[in-house]
Amino acid sequence: MQRLVFLTLGLALSASAVMAAPDTTQQKEPAPAATAAAASATALAPVQKTEIRDQTAYERLMHNSGVTLQWLWSDERGHLVATDKNDVVSIAGTQENAEGALDITGDIVSIDKDRFLFRGTILIVDAPDQGRRCERTGDFEFKATGKRRYWRLQQMQTCDHLTDYVDIYY
């Protein structure tokens, strides 16, 4: 009986602590630990099949003309290879020069006329500053707007409060 009282009291205290907890849904940025946990959970969910909602956009991605990061002031785009294996579209690419390096690897969850959802890792090293390392893993949206002939990463600001423009050209 005494155990039941303690268990009931413990549940009541837990419930009141949850009810008294501040509302965190209005936070602008999640805590770093929460971000890392969410990224890890996303990385564990493999893409079963890429949802192709627009054939022209699919063809553009498959026959892309490279990837760039604005910090790498080079006339040459990096190479990006797109493959379609067992109905899963994957991309892997790099851009590297004296200013630093960009590496992007992962799968495409879905592709629409003007956007696609990428699940994977984006790594930026030594750009724009020597010693900088920005590695992100999770789901990212790339979007083409206006008459631009590239998709731009929409989650641009993550590491060091810098804005990283990652573009995939078609």
SS3 content of the chain, % helix, strand, coil (to 5): 25, 40, 35
Q: How confident is the model at residue 35 (pLDDT cuts 50, 70, 90)?
A: very low
Residue 53 is given by DSSP the state: S
SS3 29: coil
CB-based burial of residue 61 (10 Å sphere; 0-12 exposed, 13-18 middle, 19+ buried)?
buried
Q: Where are the domains of the chain?
A: 2-43, 51-169
Average pLDDT (13-30) is: 40
DSSP H or E segment with residue 166: strand 166-169
Residue-wise pLDDT tens digits, 56-91:
999 999 999 999 999 998 779 999 999 999 999 999
Residue 163 is given by DSSP the state: B
Q: How confident is the model at residue 34 (pLDDT cuts 50, 70, 90)?
A: very low
Residue 31 pLDDT > 80 = no
What's the pLDDT score for residue 135? 96
Residue written as token pair 């996303």 = 42
